[in-house]
Structure 1
Amino acid sequence: MDELPDHLVLDILGKLEKTNDRNSVSLSCRRLYSLDNEQRYSLRIGCGLVPATDALLSLCRRFQNLWKVEIVYSGWMSKLGKQLDDQGLVVLSTSCTSLADLTLSYCTFITDVGIRHLSSCSELSSLELNFAPRITGCGVLSLAVGCRKLRRLHLIRCLNVASVEWLEYFGKLEILEELCIKNCRAIGEGDLTKLGNSWRKLRILEFEVDASYRYNNKVNDQLAVEHHMVPCDSLVELSLGNCIIAPGRGLACVLNKCKNLEKLHLDMCVGVSDSDIITLVQKAKHLRSISLRVPSDFTLPLLNSITPRLTDESLIAIAQHCSKLESFKVSFSDGEFPSLSSFTLQGIIALIQKCPIRELSLDHVCSFSDMGMEALCSAQNLEILELVQCQEVSDEGLILASQFPCLAVLKLSKCLGVTDDGLRPLVGSQKLDLLVVEDCPQVSRRGVHGAATSVSFRQDLSWMY
C-alpha cells in the first residue's frame, strides 16, 4: 500500500460508499487517514454529536474540503445531549469555507440569528430546512441577501416562516432554480406570485399545503391572484399537494404556462378539471411522467362554482398530445365515491395504446378490470405495473401478465379478486425481476414462491375491517 501513488489510493477510497467503512480504513494508517481527510466532501451528523459545537469544530478542522453537510436530529431527546444551536452555525460558516449544500433537519434550537451567519457562506447553493420552528421569514430573507449563489431552497414544516419579503427578493435576483415549500402554514398559494420574474428561471417547483389548513384564509388568497403571470418556460417538474385550483387564477395559471414541463404530480388538489389538464398537455409536449391523486371530497361550499371532475376527456387529450409519456399514476384517495370521478376503462385503454408507457400505477381505479389486463398485452413498453385495490381484476386477468412483452416488475396490493392461481403462470418462468404482493387475502406465501427473481410478500388484513 505504501508504494501505491496517491491518486490510486484516492480512487480506492472513493469506491467505499459506507461511512463506517471509510472510517475504519482511515484508522488503519497515517497515510490513509490523511488522504481520507482530503477526500471527505460530505458529512452527516446528528444526535451523537456531543458536545455539539466543539465536535463540529473538530470535524470541520479535520475535513477541510467539506462541501455538503447534513445535520439531522430526528428522534432527538434531551437525554441525548444538547442540540447544535446558533453558535454551531457560526462554526460551520467560518470553518467550512467550501460549504455549498446544507441540510438542517429537526434542528429546533437554531433561530434566525444562526441562519443569519450562513449568509456569509458565499458558495452556498443548496439549503434544506426541515422542521425548523424558530426560523422566520426574516432569517430566510438574510439568506436571500447574502447567499447570491443559492439555487435550491427547500422549506419543509417551517411553521413560522410568515413574511414573504424573501420571495420578493428572490424574484428580483432571478437565481432560484428549485423551490420546495411543504406544510409551511403561513405561506399561501397566492404568495408564490411574489417570485415575479424568477418564474422564468425556476426548473423545479414543489408546493404542498398542510391538509388541515387547506381552506384557511391564507391559502384562499390564491383566489384573488391576478390572471397575468410570468411564463414558466424553464419549469420541468411541478408538484402540487393539497392545493386549490381555481379556474383562470392562481396555480391554475401556472398549469397553462409550462410548455417544457416533463414531470407533473398533483396530490389531492381540489378543483383540477379536464380543461386544466387539456390546456396543459396541449402546450407541454415533453411530458414524461404524470401522477394524479384525486380527492373524493368534491362537495365543498368554497368551490361551488368549480367543476372539479376529471373524465376521459383528460385521458384522451393526454393520449393525443403526450407522445413521450413513460409513467402514468392515478389514485382516487380513499375510493369512497370512485364513480364520481374515476376514468372509464375505454379512456385508460386509449392512453395505454397511444403512449409509450413504461410504468403504470392504478390505485382505487374501479373501472380497471380483466379487459384492461387484456389490453396491456399489447403494451410494448410496459415494464412496471402496480395495482392497488383494483377489485375488478381477477385471476383471469392476472394470468395474462405472463404475456406482457416487457413486464419486469409487478406490484399487487389489497386486491381481493386474485389468488395463487393467477400467479401460477409466472412461477418458474423467470419473467419478472421483482414481484411485490401486499395484503391480498387470497394470495399465500407459497403462491408467490418462485414467481420472480426477487419476491416481497406481506399479509396484513387489518385494512379490511
Structure 2
Amino acid sequence: MNLQKFEFERKGGRYDLFSEIGLRTVLGKCKALENLSLEYVHALNDNDMIALSRQRYYSEDGYFETRTSFTDNSLYALAHNCPMLQIVDLKFTGCSPDYPSEIGFTQKGFLALIQSCPVRVLVLSTANFFDHEGIKALSFSPHLETLELILCHALTNAGMCFIAQIPCLTNLTLRVCHYVTDVGVAELRRACKLESLVIEYCGGVSLQAAQGVAKSVHYSKDCSVAL
C-alpha cells in the first residue's frame, strides 16, 4: 500500500467505524506512510456520551475498554511496518487524565512508535498519557527536528533539560505549558542550537528569558492565540 498520509479523526457523537484489528491490519500495510495525524475530541454532553461506541482490546497489561480503536496495538503496527514515518500529529480535546479509557493507547505504545520510526516532526496537544518519562525518552530521538507541545502539563523545568538534549532539535513550540519557568528556558539557552522558539501563554516564562534563546523567537501572553 502506497499510502503516504493517514488522518484519523474521532469526535464526540460519531461512531468509530474501524475495529481495532481492522485498523491494525491497515496500518501494518502502510510501508510508505510518512505523515500520521490523529485527532480525538471528547463528547461534549451526556447525549453524545451515549452515542459513543466502545472498543475492547487486550494488551500486555490486560484488557481495556476504549472509545477509539486506535490502541497500543495500532502504534506497534506502525512502529514495525512504517519505516518512513516522519510526521506525527496527535491532538486530544476534552479528554480525562484517566487513560486509556479516553484515548485508547498508552505512553508505552507511543514511545515504541517514536523510537522505531525516523520521526522529524512531533506535535502533542493535551496528551495526558505523556509524562516525565516520556519527555526523557525524547532526548534520545536522533531524527527529531521540530517539537510542539500544547497543554502538556507533565512538562516541567526538569523536562526542559531533556528537551535541550534532543540531538537535532531546531524548532520548539510551547503553548499553555504553565509548569515551565525561566529556569527551564535557560536550559535551552545552554544548548545553543535552536533556529526557532515559540512560547505562547506559558505563565512562568518571561519575554526576557526567551529572548536570544533561538535565532527566531515568538513570544505571546495571549491565551486565545495559544489555543
TM-score by length of 2: 0.82
Contact 1:268–1:333, Cα closer than 8 Å, also in 2? no
What is the deviation of 1:299?
2.6
**1:284 maps to which residue?**
30
What is the deviation of 1:275?
2.8
What is the deviation of 1:354?
0.6
- Alpha-carbon RMSD across the aligned residues, in angstroms, is 2.3
Matched, 1:458 2:220: yes
Q: Alignment length, in residue pairs?
A: 205
3-state SS, counterpart of residue 319 of structure 1: helix
Partners of 2:41 and 2:171 in 1: how far apart? 27
**2:102 maps to which residue?**
341
Contact 1:352–1:379, Cα closer than 8 Å, also in 2? yes
Percent of residue pairs identical: 34
What is the deviation of 1:280?
1.4
Partners of 1:371 and 1:306 in 2: how far apart? 27
3-state SS, counterpart of residue 110 of structure 2: helix
3-state SS, counterpart of residue 197 of structure 2: strand
Partners of 2:54 and 2:151 in 1: how far apart? 32
**2:82 maps to which residue?**
322
What is the deviation of 1:406?
0.4
User: In proportion to residue count, which structure has more helix?
Assistant: 1
**2:3 maps to which residue?**
261
Unmatched 5+ residue regions in structure 2?
Answer: 57-66
Matched, 1:296 2:42: yes
Contact 2:178–2:204, Cα closer than 8 Å, also in 1? yes
- Cα deviations across residues 149-198 of structure 1 (Å, max 9, x unaligned)? xxxxxxxxxxxxxxxxxxxxxxxxxxxxxxxxxxxxxxxxxxxxxxxxxx
Residues 306 and 374 from structure 1, CA distance in 2 versus in 1: closer, same or farther, beyond 3 angstroms?
closer
Contact 1:364–1:388, Cα closer than 8 Å, also in 2? yes
3-state SS, counterpart of residue 136 of structure 2: helix
- Cα deviations across residues 301-353 of structure 1 (Å, max 9, x unaligned)? 3x557664232122112111111100111111233566333332212211111
- Cα deviations across residues 109-158 of structure 1 (Å, max 9, x unaligned)? xxxxxxxxxxxxxxxxxxxxxxxxxxxxxxxxxxxxxxxxxxxxxxxxxx
3-state SS, counterpart of residue 179 of structure 2: coil
Residues 305 and 361 from structure 1, CA distance in 2 versus in 1: closer, same or farther, beyond 3 angstroms?
closer
**Residue among 351, 362, 370 paired with 2:132:** 370
Partners of 1:354 and 1:429 in 2: how far apart? 25
**1:403 maps to which residue?**
165
Matched, 1:275 2:35: no
Partners of 1:277 and 1:443 in 2: how far apart? 41
**1:311 maps to which residue?**
71
Partners of 2:173 and 2:223 in 1: how far apart? 17
What is the deviation of 1:409?
0.4
Partners of 2:111 and 2:53 in 1: how far apart? 32
Unmatched 5+ residue regions in structure 1?
Answer: 1-258
What is the deviation of 1:277?
2.9
Residues 453 and 276 from structure 1, CA distance in 2 versus in 1: closer, same or farther, beyond 3 angstroms?
farther
Partners of 2:78 and 2:146 in 1: how far apart? 20
Contact 2:95–2:102, Cα closer than 8 Å, also in 1? no
- Cα deviations across residues 390-426 of structure 1 (Å, max 9, x unaligned)? 1011110112222111001001001121111111022
- Cα deviations across residues 233-254 of structure 1 (Å, max 9, x unaligned)? xxxxxxxxxxxxxxxxxxxxxx
Partners of 1:356 and 1:395 in 2: how far apart? 26
Contact 1:383–1:408, Cα closer than 8 Å, also in 2? yes
Contact 1:428–1:450, Cα closer than 8 Å, also in 2? no
Partners of 2:181 and 2:55 in 1: how far apart? 42
One-letter code aligned to 1:364: T
Residues 264 and 338 from structure 1, CA distance in 2 versus in 1: closer, same or farther, beyond 3 angstroms?
farther
One-letter code aligned to 2:90: V
One-letter code aligned to 2:72: D
3-state SS, counterpart of residue 407 of structure 1: coil
**Using CA pairs below 8 Å that are at least 6 residues apart, which structure has the higher relative contact order?**
2
Contact 2:165–2:191, Cα closer than 8 Å, also in 1? no
3-state SS, counterpart of residue 139 of structure 2: helix
Residues 460 and 325 from structure 1, CA distance in 2 versus in 1: closer, same or farther, beyond 3 angstroms?
same
